[in-house]
Amino acid sequence: MTTNNTPRNSRKPTRREFLQTGALGAGAVMTRSALAAPTTPKTKPPNFLLVLCDQLGLDALGGHGCPDVHTPNLDRLIRRGTTFLESHSTNPVCSPARSSLMTGRMPVETGVITNGRPIHPSCPTIGQWLGESGYETVYCGKWHLPGGVPQAGDGFTVLSSRKGQGDLDDAAVSRTCEAYLKNRPQDRPYLMVASFLQPHDICYWGNHAGDRMPAGLPFPQLRGRLPELPPNNKSRPPAPQKLDAIVCNVYSEQQWRYYLYIYARMVEMLDADVGRVLDAVEASGQSENTVILFTSDHGDGRGRHSHVAKWYPYEESVKVPMVVACPGRIAANQRDATHLVSGVDAMSTMCDYAGIEPPPHVHGRSLRPLLEGNNAAWREFVSSEHHVTGRMLRTEQYKYVRYEGDPVEQLFDMKSDPWEMNNLYREARCAGVLADHRKLLAEFQARLRPVPPTPGPIETRPRAVKKRAS
Partner 1 sequence: MNNAESNVPDEFPLNTMGPVLGRFSPPPPQFDPTGPWENAYGVYTLIGTSRVGTLRLERKVNAGGRVTLDVRYEKGLTEGRQEVVGSMQLAGDGPLSTPVAWTFQSQVFDAAGDPVPYTRLKKSAMAGSDAIEIRDPRQTRRLPVRGPYTLNWALFDAVGRLPREKTEPLNFTLIDHFDQLKPNQTLSFRKTTTVTVAGNPLRLHAYDQIGEGIVPWVYWVDNQGRLLLAVSGLEGYVWEQS
Q: Does 70 bind partner 1 (CB under 8 A)?
A: yes
166 to 144, 172, 199: CA distances (angstroms): 14, 10, 7
CA distance 304 to 93: 17
| Region 255-314 residues binding partner 1, contact defined as CB under 8 A | 262, 265-266, 268-269, 271-273, 275-276, 279-280, 282-284
Q: Does 201 bind partner 1 (CB under 8 A)?
A: yes
Q: Minimal CA–CA distance to 76: which of 329, 278, 319? A: 278
CA distance 381 to 396: 7
Q: Which lies closer to partner 1 via its Cβ, residue 104 or residue 210? A: 210
Q: Does 165 bind partner 1 (CB under 8 A)?
A: yes
Q: How far apart are the first and last CA of the chain?
A: 52
The gap from C-alpha 436 to its chain's centroid, in whole angstroms, comes to 27
Binding mask 208-247 toward partner 1 (x if CB under 8 A, else -) reads xx--xxx---xx-xx-------------------------
Q: Which lies closer to partner 1 via its Cβ, residue 286 or residue 296? A: 286
Q: Does 75 bind partner 1 (CB under 8 A)?
A: no
CB 291 within 8 A of CB 350: yes
Q: Which lies closer to partner 1 via its Cβ, residue 269 or residue 340? A: 269
User: Dihedral sign, CA of 335, 338, 343, 347?
Assistant: negative
Binding residue (CB under 8 A) for partner 1 from 83, 99, 110, 176:
176
Q: Does 391 bind partner 1 (CB under 8 A)?
A: no
CA distance 195 to 58: 17
Q: What is the smallest separation between the CB atom of 252 and partner 1, expressed in angstroms? A: 15
Q: Which lies closer to partner 1 via its Cβ, residue 209 or residue 331? A: 209
What DSSP designation does 319 have?
B
Q: What is the smallest separation between the CB atom of 278 and partner 1, expressed in angstroms? A: 12
Q: Which lies closer to partner 1 via its Cβ, residue 6 or residue 20? A: 6
Q: What is the smallest separation between the CB atom of 171 and partner 1, expressed in angstroms? A: 5
CA distance 158 to 149: 7
Binding residue (CB under 8 A) for partner 1 from 182, 223, 335, 426:
182
CA distance 351 to 342: 16
CA distance 32 to 17: 10
| Residues binding partner 1 (CB under 8 A) | 1-2, 70, 147-149, 158-165, 167-169, 171-172, 175-176, 178-180, 182-184, 201, 204-205, 208-209, 212-214, 218-219, 221-222, 262, 265-266, 268-269, 271-273, 275-276, 279-280, 282-284
